[in-house]
Amino acid sequence: MLAVLNLIYLALSFSVSKEEAKKVLLNLIYLALIRAYLLFKIKLKFKVFI
């Protein structure tokens, strides 16, 4: 996952300014963390029900 983010950052740094690239990268990391948290919560719920 880190490699993918690095590639995205490199692509963005060539196409847009550094500040824009940082904003997009932070948003991607934030969304990835939310997704991981939700998946973790769902797994816990299913384990409780089983």
pLDDT at 7 over 80: no
In whole angstroms, what separates CA 44 from the centre of its chain? 21
Give the model's pLDDT for residue 19: 76
- At 5, the pLDDT band (50, 70, 90 cuts) reads confident
> Does the model's pTM come out above 0.75?
no
Q: According to the model, what pLDDT value does residue 10 have? A: 72
pLDDT tens digits, one per residue of 10-50: 776 666 677 777 787 788 888 888 888 888 887 777 766 55
Domain map (residue ranges) of the chain: 2-49
Query: Could you tell me how many residues make up the chain?
Result: 50
Quick check: 29 and 5 in contact, CB under 8 A? yes
